[in-house]
Amino acid sequence: MRPAAWPGLRAAFPAGFMAQFPDVDYDFFECIYAPAGLNIGGETAQEIAVAIMAEMLAVIRKQEPIALKNKMGDIHG
């Protein structure tokens, strides 16, 4: 089985969460995106899903999310 390209959680880790798993390497928790999603002002479930999908695409494609009006060169590609 290959590792996940984008491990994420909808919510932030609660205080003391990692201490409950002393046998798990801290680096494992560092690679998890929590809370998941980009800050685009989403409030509804559908908007939050778009924010999470946007972050997933940015991570998988190794892109820094920026407004297209601020991008130099080709917009898509």
pLDDT digits (tens, 9 = 90+) for 17-27: 888 988 988 88
Q: Residue 45: what are its φ and ψ, rounded to 5°?
A: -60, -40
pLDDT in tens, 4-44: 777 888 788 887 888 898 898 888 888 888 889 999 999 99
Q: Mean pLDDT, the chain, as a whole number?
A: 87
Taking the C-alpha atoms of residue 32 and residue 68, their distance in angstroms, rounded to an integer, is 27
Give the amino acid at 44: T
